[in-house]
Amino acid sequence: MKFEFNHFNFNVFDLEKSMNFYKEALGLTEVKRKESSDGSFILVYLGDGVTDFSLELTWLKDRTDPYDLGEQEFHLAMKVDNYDEAFKKHQEMGCIEFINESMGIYFITDPDGYWVEIVRKK
């Protein structure tokens, strides 16, 4: 038996805002969408155009408050081929949350407060 990664989920408060953020910040684009027949939820899967792994954004119609992410002891990580260019772009966007220079990584936050780690591609 062999398991492979398929996708990771973030629940989002404003679907369009989140989709725009992930497109601008990380170049992710919609690869699949599922809408419930009663309109109660929308699932949008974003891909990087390179791997089969996707980020699922879940929007719930009845959600009235932003999500409580607790202590945020979880994150998604992305590799980038031009770390310095990505860092500059994210600085301009104002979304850098934390920098760990000794490890050569930094974290950005999305509109819902989820952290995404940016790692140099080796």
Q: Is 62 exposed, middle or buried (0-12, 13-18, 19+ CB in 10 A)?
A: exposed
Cα→Cα distances 18→1, 8, 105, 122, Å: 36, 15, 22, 28
Question: Any catalytic annotation for residue 4?
Answer: no
Distances (CA, A) of 58 to 8, 70, 106: 11, 18, 25
DSSP 67: -
Contact 117, 107 (CB under 8 A): yes
**Catalytic choice (30, 56, 97, 117):** 117
CB atoms within 10 A of CB 118: 21
Cite the active site residues: 117
